[in-house]
Amino acid sequence: MNESPVHAGVHMANGFDPTSGVELDKAAADLLARRDRVLGPSYRLFYREPVAIDSASGVWLYGADGRTYLDAYNNVPAIGHSHPAVTAAVTAQLSKLNTHTRYLTEPIIAYSERLLAKFPAELDRITFACTGSEAIDLAVRTARAATGKQGIIITEHAYHGTTVAAAGLSPSLGPNNPLGEHVVTIPSIDAARTPADEVGPRLLASVESAIRALNASGSGVAAIILDSIFSSDGVQTDPAGFLAPVVQAVHNADGLYIADEVQPGFGRTGAWWGFERHGIVPDLVVLGKPMGNGIPISAVVGTSAAQEKFGSLVRYFNTFGGNPVSIAAATAVLDVIEQDDLVAHAATVGAQLLTGLREIGASHEQVIDVRGAGLFLAMEFGADDATRTPDADLAARVVNGMREEGILISASGPAANALKIRPPLPFSSEHADQLLETLDRVIGRVA
């Protein structure tokens, strides 16, 4: 199977390469051929040998070939795949009502009251959409209206979505994806090669430089948008608190801080929101599909002050943003997180994984850094040289070795040399032990 010209030079961490000569079993090969005939050419698959999935439950994925896979990667089914509480809530609501927000309905109000109670008091208003990309787009429009400025600051390997506006804030989509007008990038955080006490000051210096550039261009600073776990930048978590001076600098420039909480939010980092680790209160917060366990729903949560200008000037209507069925799913997710104490659970099992990953790293010289917060962790590979040259090939071999052993993880970072471990929140201590034992064995085998 030959790669079409549109794929040439376009790479993705842990992506399937159809030109690699991998021999797939007949069922998978036939399914791939049918997929290629009907789906758009921009789609990509994971793993050297793609995984064909038939069903899923909890933290398990069941392959069409009869194999069972431990899911240590998917954050969208936050409370676990095919959760019965979400299934029941969606089914009940579908049989009753599903319409838009131009009618008065009670569930969206009740859910909003519950959700806002999880945030700092300053964040007191919420607007719903269907996807994280739409919410990013809305947050940018809101920030530009509030400040009267256009400039947006992002990291140089950020990912924030797929609309025109959000893709223009997502350099990780590749070199052929143009950034938006008035968008400037700052270097990605590199904890593996930066002393801990220099992470914050280096980031602050980069942001101050970006502010000067935007002011000099006449754009000014509307906002800085950061994913507080820096997922696509390689999962950069420490030291906690390094974002506080950055947010202050942006506020001093009359800009807003937009926290992209699509990935770190809803308890994943061992706190309700990733920004809490940094002791800051954003002006706007973007939420995405994990809030509905995969049912399409997203939101922008913000201060009244940040949202007032946009709300007074523009009529925003997203036809099925915040529809009763999606709200029912989101309500069920809150119920399960609270009833099963999943925020504390993520902190406990995450600490177990972080300790285990560090022990593994100490016994393999190719591991140059281990980091994480809650159930969002990274292990980075590099050479034992002066610059700790990233080893993306080893990361890919480990990811695919884990897939062969029945555990699904992925890779991240500008060089795709950091393992990304991000399981559903019910991931247990026993699951963590299985992952750690298998990972140690796989690194020893493929390195």
The more confident residue out of 208 and 5 is 208
- Structural tokens at position 273: 């929101």
**Residue 45's pLDDT is what?**
86
Mean pLDDT of 222-246: 96
Mean pLDDT of 162-172: 95
Domain of 160, CATH number, reads 3.40.640.10
- Give the list of residues 6+ apart from residue 13 with CB closer than 8 angstroms, or none: 410, 411, 412, 413, 416
From CA 275, how far away is CA 244, in angstroms rounded?
A: 10
Mean pLDDT of 5-15: 58
Q: Give how many domains the chain has, as a whole number.
A: 2
Is the predicted pLDDT of residue 26 greater than 90, yes or no?
Answer: no
From CA 223, how far away is CA 258, in angstroms rounded?
A: 7
Bridge partner list, 303: 123
- Give the list of residues 6+ apart from residue 178 with CB closer than 8 angstroms, or none: 168
297 and 221 share a domain?
yes
From CA 364, how far away is CA 359, in angstroms rounded?
A: 9
User: What percent of the chain lies above the pLDDT cut of 90?
Assistant: 86
Query: Given pLDDT bands bounded at 50, 70 and 90, which one contains residue 48?
Result: confident
Query: Given pLDDT bands bounded at 50, 70 and 90, which one contains residue 7?
Result: very low
267 and 401 share a domain?
no
Mean pLDDT of 304-324: 94
**Residue 8's pLDDT is what?**
44
Query: Given pLDDT bands bounded at 50, 70 and 90, which one contains residue 5?
Result: very low
Query: Given pLDDT bands bounded at 50, 70 and 90, which one contains residue 39?
Result: confident
DSSP 8-state class, residue 5: G
CA proximity to 259, closest of 223, 304, 307, 216: 223
385 and 327 share a domain?
no
Each residue's pLDDT tens digit, 130-150: 999 999 999 999 999 999 999
Range of the domain at 352: 8-79+342-446
From CA 253, how far away is CA 112, in angstroms rounded?
A: 31
Query: Given pLDDT bands bounded at 50, 70 and 90, which one contains residue 56?
Result: very high
309 and 199 share a domain?
yes
**Residue 10's pLDDT is what?**
54
Is the predicted pLDDT of residue 21 greater than 80, yes or no?
Answer: no
28 and 154 share a domain?
no
112 and 150 share a domain?
yes
Mean pLDDT of 3-18: 60
75 and 146 share a domain?
no
Domain annotation covers residue 383: yes
Is the predicted pLDDT of residue 3 greater than 60, yes or no?
Answer: no
177 and 268 share a domain?
yes
Q: Phi/psi at 226 (nearest 5 deg)?
A: -135, 135
**Residue 25's pLDDT is what?**
84
Query: Given pLDDT bands bounded at 50, 70 and 90, which one contains residue 161?
Result: very high
Is the predicted pLDDT of residue 2 greater than 50, yes or no?
Answer: no
**Residue 6's pLDDT is what?**
39
Are 150 and 136 in contact, with CB atoms under 8 Å apart? no
DSSP H or E run through 284: strand 284-287
**Residue 22's pLDDT is what?**
83
From CA 214, how far away is CA 13, in angstroms rounded?
A: 31
Domain annotation covers residue 239: yes
368 and 413 share a domain?
yes
Q: Which of 274, 307, 339 is the last residue of a domain?
A: 339
Q: Phi/psi at 378 (nearest 5 deg)?
A: -140, 145
Domain annotation covers residue 92: yes
Query: Given pLDDT bands bounded at 50, 70 and 90, which one contains residue 49?
Result: confident
From CA 329, how far away is CA 404, in angstroms rounded?
A: 33
Q: Which of 339, 364, 379 is the last residue of a domain?
A: 339
Are 140 and 222 in contact, with CB atoms under 8 Å apart? yes
Query: Given pLDDT bands bounded at 50, 70 and 90, which one contains residue 177?
Result: very high
**Residue 11's pLDDT is what?**
58
**Residue 27's pLDDT is what?**
85
55 and 94 share a domain?
no
Is the predicted pLDDT of residue 1 greater than 80, yes or no?
Answer: no
Coil, helix or strand at residue 372: strand
Domain annotation covers residue 2: no
**Residue 191's pLDDT is what?**
94
Domain annotation covers residue 1: no
Give Rg (Cα) of the chain.
Answer: 22
Domain annotation covers residue 3: no
Is the predicted pLDDT of residue 152 greater than 80, yes or no?
Answer: yes
Q: Which of 339, 374, 389 is the last residue of a domain?
A: 339
Domain of 407, CATH number, reads 3.90.1150.10
* Whole-Å CA distances, 368 to 137, 189, 198, 230, 378: 37, 15, 18, 18, 11
Each residue's pLDDT tens digit, 381-432: 999 888 899 999 999 999 999 999 999 999 999 999 999 999 999 999 999 9
- Give the list of residues 6+ apart from residue 8 with CB closer than 8 angstroms, or none: none
Domain annotation covers residue 197: yes
* Whole-Å CA distances, 14 to 152, 160, 418: 29, 19, 11
Each residue's pLDDT tens digit, 327-382: 999 999 999 999 999 999 999 999 999 999 999 999 999 999 999 999 999 999 99
246 and 115 share a domain?
yes
What is the residue-averaged pLDDT of the chain?
Answer: 94
Residue reference for tokens 């019965």: 84
Residue reference for tokens 């555990």: 407
Mean pLDDT of 68-81: 97
423 and 384 share a domain?
yes
Each residue's pLDDT tens digit, 266-300: 999 999 999 999 999 999 999 999 999 999 999 99
Coil, helix or strand at residue 360: helix
Query: Given pLDDT bands bounded at 50, 70 and 90, which one contains residue 46?
Result: confident
